[in-house]
C-alpha cells in the first residue's frame, strides 16, 4: 500500500530513529547527519556524526519539539569518532541511553549515558559496556522486569569481525549457502549498565525452518535491529542492507528463533534503511528515514513517520517506500 509519510525535522538531517512512549509523549532518539566532506564508502566513514538531539511529540501528526543536544561525542571519555544509531530505556526513575561509538582504535563499542529526563541531558560513563561490540543497540522492555538489547551491523558496523563474541584475526563472511551472520541479543543487568549474560545469535528461519543463508540477500539480516510485541508475539524487524528493505520475523520469546514473515517497507530514496515501530494512542507507527530532501545523498537523511497496519492474522501490511 502507498501511505503518505510525513517528514518530521525539515530544518536538519536526522536518521535512524528509535522511538518510545515516555511520560505520555512520543520521544524520538535519532542519529544526526552532517555535511562532513568525507568521500562516501562502504565502511560508512562519511557518517561523521558528533551528537544526538532528542525530539518529542504529543501526537504523531502534531508539532515536533527539539529538546536540543542530549549527548556529544566530545563528552564521552573513551571517544574516537562516529555516534551512530542510539536507543533509550527507562528503569527506576532513570533514563539510559545506549550508543555505538568508535573508540580510539576505531573499533565500535556500545556505551551508556544516564539521565533524569527522557530528553536528557545524558551523562556518559567512563568506559564502554564490557564485552560490547558493533552498532545499532535497540532495547526491549519486556514488561517482566527484564530489558533486552538487540545489536549488530555488517560492513561498517563491524559485526563480521566477531564470532561467538570474540574478535577474529580478520573479518570473515560466510559463503552464500552458509547461515547468514545474525544480529545479537543480550539481557541487561538489573542496574542497566552492563550485559547480564553472553550475547546470543538472533536466528531467523525460513518457511521450512532452516536459518536464512548469507546469499539470501532479499531476507537476511544486515543491520538496524528493532523489537516490538503484538498479539502475544515478538516481532524482530531489521534492514536487509544492500537490498534496501525493512523485513520482519516473529517468535515466541525475546531470544527467538524467529520465522521470516515479510517486508514492512520497500526501498526508499537513499542507500540505508533504519526504523522503529511503536504503538501510540491506539495506532501503530513506523518511524524511518530517507534521503529525498537531500537529493538522494545517503549521508544526509531525513526523519519520517507513517501509520503501520496489521492484517487480521497478525502479519504487517507492506508500506511502499
**Mean pLDDT, rounded, for 173-199:** 98
Q: Is 223 a catalytic residue?
A: yes
Positive or negative, the CA dihedral 107, 112, 113, 117 is positive
Coil vs helix vs strand at 293: helix
Band of pLDDT at residue 276, cut at 50, 70 and 90: very high
Band of pLDDT at residue 4, cut at 50, 70 and 90: confident
At 295 the pLDDT is 92
Q: Rounded to an integer, what distance in angstroms lies between the CA atom of residue 259 and that of residue 266?
A: 19
Given 33, 119, 223, 290, the catalytic residue: 223
**Mean pLDDT, rounded, for 302-315:** 98
Domain parsing of the chain, residue ranges: 6-308
At 296 the pLDDT is 86
pLDDT in tens, 233-249: 999 999 999 999 999 99
3-state helix, strand, coil in the chain (%, to 5): 5, 45, 50
Q: How do 246-251 and 258-265 pair as beta strands?
A: antiparallel
Mean pLDDT (the chain) is 96
At 46 the pLDDT is 85
User: In this structure, what C-alpha cell is assigned to residue 102?
Assistant: 568508535
pLDDT at 107 > cutoff 80: yes
Band of pLDDT at residue 40, cut at 50, 70 and 90: confident
pLDDT at 218 > cutoff 80: yes
Q: Select the more confidently predicted residue: 266 or 45.
A: 266
| 125 DSSP 8-state letter | P
At 39 the pLDDT is 85
CB neighbours of 253 closer than 8 A, spacing ≥ 6? 234
Length of the chain equals: 321
For 50, 142, 215, 298, the CA distances from 34, given in Å and listed in that order, are 9, 34, 33, 11
The H or E element that residue 71 is part of is strand 65-72
User: In this structure, what C-alpha cell is assigned to residue 17?
Assistant: 530513529
At 38 the pLDDT is 81
At 45 the pLDDT is 83
Positive or negative, the CA dihedral 178, 40, 319, 237 is positive
Q: Rounded to an integer, what distance in angstroms lies between the CA atom of residue 19 and that of residue 283?
A: 14
Q: Is 242 a catalytic residue?
A: no
At 2 the pLDDT is 66
Q: What's 6-308's CATH class?
A: mainly beta
Given 16, 87, 119, 290, the catalytic residue: 16
The H or E element that residue 147 is part of is strand 147-151
For 46, 161, 214, the CA distances from 172, given in Å and listed in that order, are 23, 6, 12
Are 215 and 206 in contact by the 8 Å Cβ rule? The answer is no
Lowest mean pLDDT across 17-31, 40-54, 258-272: 40-54
pLDDT at 114 > cutoff 60: yes
pLDDT at 121 > cutoff 80: yes
Band of pLDDT at residue 299, cut at 50, 70 and 90: confident
Q: Rounded to an integer, what distance in angstroms lies between the CA atom of residue 256 and that of residue 91?
A: 24
pLDDT in tens, 127-142: 999 999 999 999 999 9
Instruction: Give me the torsion for CA of 212, 181, 270, 285, rounded to 10°.
Output: 70
pLDDT at 19 > cutoff 90: yes
Amino acid at each position: 500500500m502507498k501511505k503518505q509519510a510525513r517528514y518530521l525535522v525539515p530544518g536538519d538531517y536526522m536518521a535512524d530513529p528509535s522511538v518510545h512512549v515516555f511520560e505520555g509523549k512520543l520521544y524520538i532518539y535519532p542519529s544526526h547527519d552532517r555535511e562532513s566532506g568525507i568521500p562516501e564508502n562502504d565502511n560508512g566513514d562519511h557518517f561523521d556524526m558528533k551528537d544526538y538531539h532528542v525530539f518529542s511529540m504529543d501526537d504523531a501528526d502534531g508539532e515536533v519539539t527539539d529538546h536540543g543536544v542530549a549527548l556529544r561525542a566530545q563528552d564521552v571519555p573513551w571517544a574516537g569518532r562516529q555516534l551512530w544509531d542510539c536507543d533509550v530505556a527507562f528503569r527506576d526513575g532513570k533514563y539510559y541511553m545506549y550508543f555505538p561509538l568508535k573508540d580510539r582504535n576505531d573499533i565500535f563499542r556500545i556505551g551508556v549515558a544516564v539521565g533524569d529526563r527522557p530528553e536528557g541531558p545524558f551523562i556518559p560513563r567512563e568506559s564502554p559496556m564490557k564485552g560490547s561490540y558493533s552498532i545499532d543497540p535497540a532495547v526491549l522492555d519486556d514488561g517482566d522486569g527484564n530489558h533486552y538489547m538487540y545489536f549488530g551491523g555488517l560492513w561498517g558496523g563491524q559485526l563480521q569481525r566477531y564470532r561467538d563474541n570474540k574478535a577474529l584475526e580478520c573479518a570473515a563472511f560466510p559463503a552464500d549457502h552458509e547461515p547468514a551472520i545474525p544480529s545479537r541479543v543480550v539481557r541487561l543487568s538489573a542496574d542497566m549498565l552492563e550485559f547480564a549474560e553472553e550475547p546470543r545469535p538472533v536466528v531467523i528461519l525460513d518457511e521450512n525452518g532452516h536459518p536464512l543463508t548469507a546469499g539470501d540477500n532479499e531476507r537476511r539480516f544486515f543491520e538496524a535491529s528493532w523489537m516490538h510485541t503484538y498479539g502475544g508475539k515478538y516481532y524482530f524487524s531489521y534492514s536487509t542492507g544492500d537490498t534496501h528493505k525493512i523485513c520482519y520475523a516473529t517468535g515466541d520469546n525475546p531470544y527467538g528463533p524467529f520465522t521470516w514473515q515479510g517486508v514492512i517497507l520497500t526501498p526508499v530514496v537513499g542507500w540505508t534503511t533504519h526504523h522503529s515501530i511503536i504503538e501510540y494512542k491506539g495506532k501503530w507507527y513506523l518511524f524511518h528515514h530517507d534521503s529525498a530532501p537531500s537529493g538522494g545523498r545517503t549521508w544526509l537523511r531525513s526523519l519520517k513517520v507513517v501509520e503501520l497496519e496489521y492484517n487480521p492474522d497478525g502479519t504487517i501490511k507492506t508500506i511502499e517506500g
